[in-house]
Chain A
Amino acid sequence: MRSLPQPLPIPATFDKSSSMWVDEAIWGHRLYDEQSPWMVLLEFLNVFYYEVEKGRGFVEANGLNTLTYKAARRLYLRNILFNNPHLGEIRVRFPHDANRWEQWLERMSSATGLHHPQFAYLKGRFDSFDDFSEVVSLVRSTSLEVNSNKRWTSKFVFPYGQNCLYEDLDNNASTNDRRFFGRTGEILYLMLSRAKRRQELLAALRQSLSKTDSTWDSVIRCLQPSEEEDLSSERANAFLPYAEHPCFDQLAEDWLAILRLNIPGFDVLPHLVNLAGLHLVKYQLSVSRELLGLSAMPIFVCEVVAPKKTLVREISADGYQENNFLPSRAVEAYISAIESSAQWQQALHDHGAFEKCRQLLSERVRWDDYEGPSDPEQLLLAFKQAAMKRHRQHVANIHRNYGRDIGLVSKRGTIKLRYAPNDSLLKTLLFANVERRVELHRFLEKLFQRYGLLFGDKEAGQVLAQGDFDKKAFQANSRRFEQRLDSLGVLKRLSDSCAYVINPYRERMP
């Protein structure tokens, strides 16, 4: 049982948008449930490119938790792509190319977020309005969130290259209201900056990003004016409480493993996204467990979806509920620790106890929002209620939301949520953990040791109490796992229950 490393102190100046500092102290500022793993990656890339350009990729030059960066806004591009319902109508109503441009430019003169919008530069870039429309249509078809009913400022171009990146903005396209870029991408960046193999990862990321086909990045640059890009104001105040943690190292290792394979083009990105999501969930649960004094590794009993209800499904659903509850329990434990701390106890017995306690809370957790009776117990109770309420609004949902987004958690075939990894996640795990080929049972072992993902009876026997599990049910689960891998084309079955898991993308030749 490992204990948490010493958490870093609250920053002197911190984001005034935080009404207290509890979740942040435990996991960082911040893990945000409405920021999906793809959004996390996009935010991360914004930070990454900026820092690399400044020559300090994955280096916290001014000390820990001092990250400041600027992001692009690219409002011309975004207006064209996502705030522009005119193309179809214009093509139908106006047959001549010159008219079309005229009409469109007129409509776009009211584009949001720009002073004196001037879109005429586009005429010189395309042979015809038609061509322009085709390109816009194609770029839209590969964009993220394009079919959701999110505001247009929260729709994102696929990250083909640096010219595609920008930050999330509010409806007026004026500020980043942290609605969808809730800083988890910044946390991701800090995590990797503190991983042991960050130098290697930096090189691998840079190489991988530079090797992709630049066609689309160029096209997207064409949609933007040639003048200097206006960057946002400085973003700061990201906070990660630990100078090091095994979760950071594991994430870096997994990303490195993926980047080393010769996966074509942009296909790497979905895997990086899945791994980021998985490790963030694992991080939250691991830290929770450590705070509660449990062993660090969270366990995810996984069902390979079966046509009928199985025992594994039951155990998986129970395990899901247990894990889902862990972060809340951790917050409670954190608050109890404050209560039983020497300082609090002393303050209780000093005269002016209430004021002292109030002061203590203000310093420790930056909370000062109390109107009730001057009683330390009441104070603490109110604080606890406020903290739990705040936790449940967002941070408590990370496990469920990220879990669903990466394909780990699902309700498929049943009514309860439980762990049932989908094909995409299974492939990601395979690519990250199998260099060339490995025997199936060793692959299962590795999945368990590294991530706590439990599929088979051997691993179940290590964790579940004897009476609690049915060996046959887990054996059937492993067999389904084998068949699943077979249908994905990554399994070579020899006779006799001897099977090999094969990675179709061997390591890139150096």
Chain B
Amino acid sequence: MTDSKWLQFLRHYGPIPRNDNMYDETIQRSARRQKIAPIEFEHPMQDLLLRCFDQRTVDPVSVILTGTAGDGKTHLCRRVWTRLNGDEKAWASDSAYLTLAFRYPKDRKEWPTSNDEELYRQVNIHFIRDLSGWAPQQGGEWEPEKEALLQKFCHSLVNPDANELFLIAANDGQLIESWRRLQQTEEVQRARQLFEDLLVEDRQERSGVRLKFFNLSRADSADLFDRALDAFLNHPGWDELRNLSAGENELFGSRCPIRHNFEILQGALVRSRLRSLLELCDRNGLHVPIRQILILLTNAVLGHTDCKDGLMTAADVPKVIAAGTISKASLFSNVFGGNLPENRRLGITIFDYLERFQIGHETSNRVDNLLIFGEQDDHLSHYFEALVAQDGFYGADPRFYAAKQEYIEGSDEGSDSQTFLDLLVAQRRGLYFKIPREWEEELNLWELTVFKFAGEYLAEVVQPLLKGVAVKRMILARLIRGLNRVFTGMLINADRELFLATSGNNSQAKVSRILLERVSVDPNKGERIALHRDPSNGSILLSVFFTPAIHEDFHLTLIRYEFLSRIALEGALPASFSKECYEDLLAYKSQLVAGLLRRQEKDGVVVGGSSVRLNFLALTEQGMPDPKFVEVAV
């Protein structure tokens, strides 16, 4: 077979060079032409959004959908349109602005059982499904009708009698920028201020304002991944290929890399490891839009270093098999964009994010021993056999064995050691996806990434808190020790209390020897320190309570967890892993000192008197705190 309609269509979702503004249109048009359904799934926020407009609401308000490109804004608008009985053909037109009428209960209390028109009010709902396509060009002026419409929108935010509602889909920056170019009436300015506040503070609404704000960038990337992967794998398009009953060396035959990648992607372990990466992106504040997830999946299955645009076509498969370059289609490398040239790879969000884990480049002695000497080694040979030798597609192939031999024997300098080192990168990536759960600990799976404590973070912190279970004592103790080391600048070993120390004149000094206060971790006289989950956005917080009412929170992202763990366990210097984290922690110390002062004020602590008492902090040989009190008579 010369080509496959499904593969041709699927390619549109891949990392091919394209004009991003036309993304949706291109897919929709291609889908219509090929008579293939686009890859779609229910967005986690879909129901929440529909609820704002359908018969589950008695008093609808306007909605703004924001997010980055590829978050699914247009798609969700269409769902609302369909639910409200909007005309399909009208939607299929290219217009960025559409309107329909719907009726809602006039009394705004409940839906009438009868069809009596008197009991309803007609509402016009304006859909601006792409604000950037509808707004004037850079530096241009608003057309008067559009301007009037938006003024009406601003008015509707505070006016319950308005019979016009709006559903606007816009990128964050575009929203603010467009509002800046409107005539600056008081209502417009207030609206813009509101949008800014909601965006910067990550909130959905403000009391007294008739608006709901959905920021799709706050969606759970791991959840989106689950849904997207199911939709991808279960798409009927794959039937076309399955029905080929191909021969061994043909498209979708037993040696076809596309088929093999497809099957790997269905495996529970691979899925779980990929999902973890996306969850960890979320935990580092990096949100992955749907479009990027689809790029990831498409590239994973179709990627091959040598093919046009880095993606295999139907015709490429037999050639690849014949040339013996199947290993260049490895899903394990494709996941990281290894099949793409560097500058294209770094320009694609998902690959940029996944690159930050440095999978393939990070390693441990154990892993490298396994890969290089495992074949011969008594202890490691069964790992090598199971994880590398038995993988006929992407494990040890003749090329790998040859390069390994060259490398070990070290015959001559030149490019050959580089070849093997590149192959090692690919094998390490493979290991990340292949090491089974029972071997995770002994092979130190997470040392294959730059976040050695990521596995523990997910399993011992995120999961328990999600279920409402407390985090293990040992973990909290470790975090406290890390904090103490950063706050005092010394290799202190205390972990039952938090030591708030300053240098006297600078809250951001590296070494602080003046002890202000010791805050108990276990509940004691109103003080306590705990890890918990913020239900409004799912972030993990470390909270220090000075009294039940006075507390300061620290957002414990993955990178901060890693930072504190390394300092606590390995005695790493704070500035060596991440200067940013270090600064963040010093800022948190400032906050804590302020909190302490608030408690002192409340307690009526008096400063001054006939003597001054100073607490100096020194360490014993074992690194335990050795406080010393000095009293000075004034």
Residue total for B at the interface (Cβ-Cβ under 8 A): 41
A221 to B630, Cβ gap below 8 A?
A: no
Report B-chain residues with C-beta under 8 Å of the C-beta of A264. 507, 590, 593-594
Report B-chain residues with C-beta under 8 Å of the C-beta of A492. 200
- Whether B368 sits at the interface, judged by CB under 8 Å, is no
A124 to B633, Cβ gap below 8 A?
A: yes
For chain A residues 418-453, which have a beta carbon within 8 Å of chain B? 437, 439
Smallest CB separation, B341 vs chain A (Å): 21
**Total contacts A-B at CB 8 Å:** 106
A487 to B580, Cβ gap below 8 A?
A: yes
Q: Interface readout for A216-228 with B: 1 if CB under 8 Å, 0 if not? A: 1011011000000
A494 to B584, Cβ gap below 8 A?
A: no
- Whether B173 sits at the interface, judged by CB under 8 Å, is yes
Q: CA–CA, A502 to B196, complex, Å?
A: 12
For chain B residues 180-208, which have a beta carbon within 8 Å of chain A? 196, 199-200
Q: Which of A19-27, A127-135, A295-303, A355-363 lies at the interface?
A: A127-135
Task: Determine the residue in chain B with the shortest Cβ distance to A127.
Answer: B631
B505 to A142, Cβ gap below 8 A?
A: yes
- Whether A69 sits at the interface, judged by CB under 8 Å, is no
Task: Determine the residue in chain A with the shortest Cβ distance to B629.
Answer: A131
Report A-chain residues with C-beta under 8 Å of the C-beta of B506. 142, 266-267, 270
Smallest CB separation, A502 vs chain B (Å): 7
The secondary structure that dominates the B interface is mixed
B171 to A496, Cβ gap below 8 A?
A: yes
B504 to A142, Cβ gap below 8 A?
A: yes
- Whether A126 sits at the interface, judged by CB under 8 Å, is yes
Report B-chain residues with C-beta under 8 Å of the C-beta of A222. 612, 632-634
- Whether B172 sits at the interface, judged by CB under 8 Å, is yes
Smallest CB separation, B279 vs chain A (Å): 21
Residue total for A at the interface (Cβ-Cβ under 8 A): 39
- Whether A214 sits at the interface, judged by CB under 8 Å, is yes
A219 to B614, Cβ gap below 8 A?
A: yes
Q: Interface readout for B50-68 with A: 1 if CB under 8 Å, 0 if not? A: 0000000000000000111
- Whether A500 sits at the interface, judged by CB under 8 Å, is yes
Smallest CB separation, A460 vs chain B (Å): 19
A504 to B172, Cβ gap below 8 A?
A: no
Q: Which of B66, B69, B580, B632 has the most CB of A within 10 A?
A: B632
Q: Which of A222, A496, A502 has the most CB of B within 10 A?
A: A496
Q: Interface readout for B247-270 with A: 1 if CB under 8 Å, 0 if not? A: 000000000000000000000000
For chain B residues 340-396, which have a beta carbon within 8 Å of chain A? none
Smallest CB separation, A269 vs chain B (Å): 8
With A214-B607, A218-B608, A487-B579 already in contact, the answer to whether A495 and B67 are too (CB < 8 A) is yes
B172 to A496, Cβ gap below 8 A?
A: yes
- Whether B583 sits at the interface, judged by CB under 8 Å, is yes
Q: List 14 A-B contacts (CB under 8 A).
A: A124-B633, A125-B632, A126-B633, A134-B628, A135-B614, A216-B505, A267-B507, A270-B506, A487-B580, A489-B580, A494-B200, A495-B66, A496-B172, A496-B174
Known contacts A126-B632, A265-B505; 20 additional CB pairs below 8 A are: A125-B633, A126-B633, A127-B631, A131-B631, A141-B503, A142-B504, A160-B505, A215-B612, A219-B614, A264-B507, A264-B590, A264-B594, A437-B200, A489-B583, A494-B176, A495-B66, A496-B172, A496-B174, A502-B200, A504-B587
Residues of B within 8 A of A (CB): 66-69, 171-174, 176-177, 196, 199-200, 217, 503-508, 513-514, 579-580, 583-584, 587, 590, 593-594, 607-608, 612, 614, 616, 628, 630-634
Residues of A within 8 A of B (CB): 124-127, 131, 134-135, 138, 141-142, 158, 160, 213-216, 218-219, 221-222, 264-267, 270, 437, 439, 487-489, 492, 494-498, 500, 502, 504
